Amino acid sequence: MSSPPLFAADVMLGRTARWLRMLGFDTFYDNRAGDDALKKLCLEENRVLLTKDVALHKAMPAGGSRLVEAVYPRQQLEEIISVFHLEQFTLPPRCSLCNGELAAIEKELIRDLVPPYVFRTQSSFQRCQSCQKIYWQGTHLGKISKFFENIRKVSG
| 68, 77, 81, 95: residue in contact with Zn ion (rule CB under 5 A) | 95
DSSP 3-state of 132: coil
Q: How far apart are CA 128 and CA 61, in angstroms?
A: 33
3-state helix, strand, coil split of the chain in percent (to 5) is 45, 15, 40
User: Counting contacts by CB under 5 A, is residue 103 touching Zn ion?
Assistant: no
| From 25-33, 67-75, 94-102, 107-115, span contacting Zn ion (CB under 5 A) | 94-102
Q: How far apart are CA 12 and CA 24, in angstroms?
A: 20
Comparison of 53 and 145: residue with beta carbon closer to Zn ion? 145
Comparison of 21 and 66: residue with beta carbon closer to Zn ion? 21
User: Counting contacts by CB under 5 A, is residue 50 touching Zn ion?
Assistant: no
User: Counting contacts by CB under 5 A, is residue 128 touching Zn ion?
Assistant: yes
| 6, 12, 98, 105: residue in contact with Zn ion (rule CB under 5 A) | 98
User: Counting contacts by CB under 5 A, is residue 131 touching Zn ion?
Assistant: yes
* Cβ 19 to Zn ion shortest distance, Å: 15
Comparison of 18 and 39: residue with beta carbon closer to Zn ion? 18
Say which DSSP state 31 is in: T
For 37, 92, 151, the CA distances from 156, given in Å and listed in that order, are 37, 20, 8
Query: Rg of the chain's alpha carbons, rounded to an integer?
Result: 17
User: Counting contacts by CB under 5 A, is residue 37 touching Zn ion?
Assistant: no
Q: How far apart are CA 23 and CA 93, in angstroms?
A: 5
Residues that bind Zn ion (CB under 5 A): 95, 97-98, 100, 128, 130-131, 133
